[in-house]
Structure 1
């Protein structure tokens, strides 16, 4: 009987492979696995008639590097999650934009991190994507690789013993991200009466979910900046911020709960990830961009966001609500997805005056008034 999932580990270091084998036997005893020490022969060393669900590959290997191997994996096995392993953090400079890896992890890595990545196979399978959509998303290249600070932050947020000081100590490692966090915490639309220069207080104001979303968003903005013309990159980042602000303001106008208002803001911020990657694809691989637009229907940026956030170990309760955009607006006026939908559609019109006029004329009068009031405030 064939096991449900198949994981492949490629590393010329035999000792490393033995250690991973022991860990894998404990974490995924019911999976098929392959441990390959000859990277140039990875294709012929796979199990027959099996396609990997996830492939881990070391970066520095003789004859061929891990980026090149994963490029082959992307071509031959587009549905496989691709993880690049490196023993030298300086490698991130070399491979961050290789376009081959979904995730980059530093060696040695913890059992917890390995378990998180393996769990993404199950989570991706639960996403409501067709086979064609999964295959299309699997071909995405030029993906941003999240910096180590994001993994540190995720682990701290999952640690019940972690306090705001510990979290602040992590964020301060990236001064630009820390400055942006403070900027958002002091923004008028969050409704605080006084400013703060304390990162600890800013973290307390934002809450765990929004803090994590903002950190990922700011990291992705930084990682993708070299891949797009500066004007286009800045425009997408500005649109993300404006959409989040308008969505939250609309949620307040619609008398949505404080929790719903934060969810609107968080989801809008996260959705900027998909817009950046979609635009990068348009510039770098136009045929794939056309395929994404065809396969992912009305919300290609949202489905890309859902796919990537799942790969990056975001909890399902944060990721899945984004899929509700496809069924919005809902009849329930206080449904959290409605203000996000209206803000999304407004900014989707861009600079096209005719599209914007058509969209505004299609809205119920109270919604139109709320949009105009909040844009003018």
Structure 2
């Protein structure tokens, strides 16, 4: 048995549920060590010797519920990804109760969802994050969770080959706060529509289903305020929107496709989502790590995660991708705007050498000239 072998600990007081998990998962994870326990005390004793990568617990159990159990896991084994299985249908109402969980899956659960979560945990383990930061993230009281309306939208899009725009609009309309934010973003100058979008269907038709899905995620995540500081929360939202706008404009200047420009906009919106946890509004290395961790936990692709992880120091990335450099330039420009500085100054933090080698520096300079002229 190798030290790096993935290990998962499952806790459920129902023996039939454990048998079902064992039967279905062993086909997909033959090289993993899967441990199943019915008793919370026995499961806790496993932590020291097993050092699991992932701990999956049912929520409703008679002797110790899953929330209390995962609270102990957080303290004893902070590196483990914690997953809670719950029959609670209203995820937003459950948010305060499941602060100890990284992910919450419905019960009865779909096996594909659990399999995806276990693979995401494996990818998290492979991120180049220092051990002390991993432990800090693991001990955090609560993490932003995927909004219920986002889950409903993703579920619908995955179930049909020809999604209906009216049905998508209907799903979005279930959460008026998220809908309001989407309309605000859809009507921002960065999208350049001549007339405003005034309804969910307008936004869906104009922006497309993929972009709407991502904006639902952004709006729902930023509605969650872990810092309990309204001013800092609003600052993070404004910074996210500003960086997203810079990312989209740079993408257009660099002749990227609409799909790529849209993806860059979403990347800008989520580049510093870790600030919702840390309460820090600035782009710190800790925020970048937490943000990258969250995006990988939520299933974003590796290029996006790496861009967020190395947004401050792209030179540290094993392989430097154009997306990473665009985010780096956008965050430096945003910071310079905040403090009234020059993004091209020697002390701005902008890696002009990398941008020049990638053929991007001239376009960044052109963006800054146009931005100055428009002020």
Q: TM-score normalized by structure 1?
A: 0.80
| Contact in 1 for aligned 2:308/2:327 (Cα 8 Å) | no
1:217 aligns with 2:234: no
Q: TM-score normalized by structure 2?
A: 0.81
What is the SS of the residue equivalent to 1:26?
coil
| Contact in 1 for aligned 2:133/2:286 (Cα 8 Å) | no
CA spacing shift, 1:164–1:370, aligned 2, 3 Å = same
Partner of 1:287: none
1:361 alignment partner, one of 341, 345, 352: 345
Stretch moving more, 339-348 or 304-313? 339-348
Rounded to whole Å, the distance in 1 between the matches of 2:41 and 2:94 is 20
Rounded to whole Å, the distance in 1 between the matches of 2:163 and 2:98 is 36
Root mean square deviation, CA, Å:
3.4
| Contact in 2 for aligned 1:328/1:337 (Cα 8 Å) | no
1:341 alignment partner, one of 311, 314, 328: 328
CA spacing shift, 1:90–1:160, aligned 2, 3 Å = closer
Partner of 1:299: 285
CA spacing shift, 1:368–1:103, aligned 2, 3 Å = same
CA spacing shift, 1:342–1:60, aligned 2, 3 Å = same
Partner of 1:20: 21
Rounded to whole Å, the distance in 2 between the matches of 1:335 and 1:27 is 34
Q: CA deviation at 1:160?
A: 5.5
| Contact in 1 for aligned 2:214/2:266 (Cα 8 Å) | yes
Partner of 2:43: 42
| Contact in 2 for aligned 1:96/1:144 (Cα 8 Å) | no
Considering Cα pairs closer than 8 Å and 6+ residues apart, tell me whether 1 or 2 has the greater RCO. Answer: 1
Rounded to whole Å, the distance in 2 between the matches of 1:120 and 1:212 is 20
| Contact in 2 for aligned 1:168/1:199 (Cα 8 Å) | yes
CA spacing shift, 1:147–1:252, aligned 2, 3 Å = closer
Number of aligned residue pairs: give it: 355
Rounded to whole Å, the distance in 2 between the matches of 1:105 and 1:149 is 15
Partner of 1:370: 367
CA spacing shift, 1:125–1:258, aligned 2, 3 Å = same
After superposition, the C-alpha distances for 1:184-232 in whole angstroms (9 at most, x for unaligned) are 22322112233334534523433454333322221112222x6422122
Describe how 1:80-159 pairs up with structure 2 within 5 A: 80-89=80-89, 93-96=93-96, 98-159=98-159
